[in-house]
Amino acid sequence: MARQKSDKDKLRRGITSSEVHNVEQLSTPRAPVIYEVVRRMGEEEMLRPVSSLWWSGIAAGLSISFSVLAEAILLNHLPDAPWRPLIANLGYSVGFLMVILARQQLFTESTITAVLPVLKDLSPEMVAKMVRLWVIVLAANLVGSLFAALFCSFTPVLSPELYAGMVEVSRKLLKYDLGSMLFAGISSGFLIAAMVWMLPTAENAKFVVITLMTYLISAGGFTHIVAGSVEAYLLVIAGDWVWWQAITQFGLPVLAGNIVGGTALFAVLSYAQVKDEI
């Protein structure tokens, strides 16, 4: 009786001791907790062997090609209507879902995961580890996406209609000038970094978070260095660009934009909001 009375008194004042545990489980982790999760992810990536990073990056480059393929499939089956691009853009999320849920190494994810450990311990050794990770993963991603573009172009794996749809999807890059490529890349880099920051708290909603954030990249007309490289390769193979145009008009400005958006904007801002609490 005394215990029941005590619990009733606590309910009048607030919550019971047993409910405190429920509150802790249901509450959203504080920003420093999210920071620590993402930072540790970056440290683990930096410590991976070269061969592991390379083959994981190759796999990511191959998987990301399904973003272009899925968009082409949707375009080929949707009627010519004003809302057609908005639905077709959903296909862009497919490759990212494959890469991220399979934990393959994607360069733009590392613009935040590998940067947070460097911001905490700014030393030549940490910077060297970050650069090592970036170079290996980016090179592997681009090789994997090149293989995917060549495979789609020179083997009978796709119907002529579907391949033409992939080239049509890729031709959206032709409307950008250098400045547009750069700033579209900044937006894309920021969105990918935001997605990485959100995933530790997403739990069972990871599918939704990845789909929403990557859909915004496509629907907003933003540019991504790895997914866009598949499109750039297809444009070169189709004769719309030559190699130097793919590098100078797409590769360099988009790469710079993704790094600025993911690192200089999101990663630095994320670190700034927790640096006095860690």
Q: Which tens digits make up the pLDDT trace of 145-168?
A: 999 999 999 999 999 999 999 999
* pLDDT score recorded for residue 4: 53
* Residue whose C-alpha is closest to residue 198's, from 41, 39, 45, 34: 34
Q: Are 141 and 107 in contact (CB under 8 A)?
A: yes
Chain segment 103-136, per-residue pLDDT in tens: 999 999 998 898 889 988 889 999 999 999 999 9
Structural domains of the chain sorted by starting position, each given as residue range(s) with its CATH number in brackets: 29-272 (1.20.1080.10)
What CA–CA distance (Å, rounded) separates 131 from 140? 14
What CA–CA distance (Å, rounded) separates 163 from 259? 31
What CA–CA distance (Å, rounded) separates 257 from 254? 5
Check the CA dihedral 138-139-140-143 and report its sign. Answer: positive
Chain segment 67-83, per-residue pLDDT in tens: 999 999 999 999 989 99
Residue 202 CA neighbour count, 13 Å, CB half: 17
Chain segment 25-50, per-residue pLDDT in tens: 555 677 788 888 888 999 999 999 99
Show Cβ contacts of residue 213 under 8 Å, excluding neighbours closer than 6 positions: 191, 192, 194, 195, 198
CA torsion 93-99-102-103 (nearest 10°) is: -130
Show Cβ contacts of residue 211 under 8 Å, excluding neighbours closer than 6 positions: 90, 93, 97
Least confident of 24-38, 86-100, 204-218: 24-38
pTM confidence score: 0.87
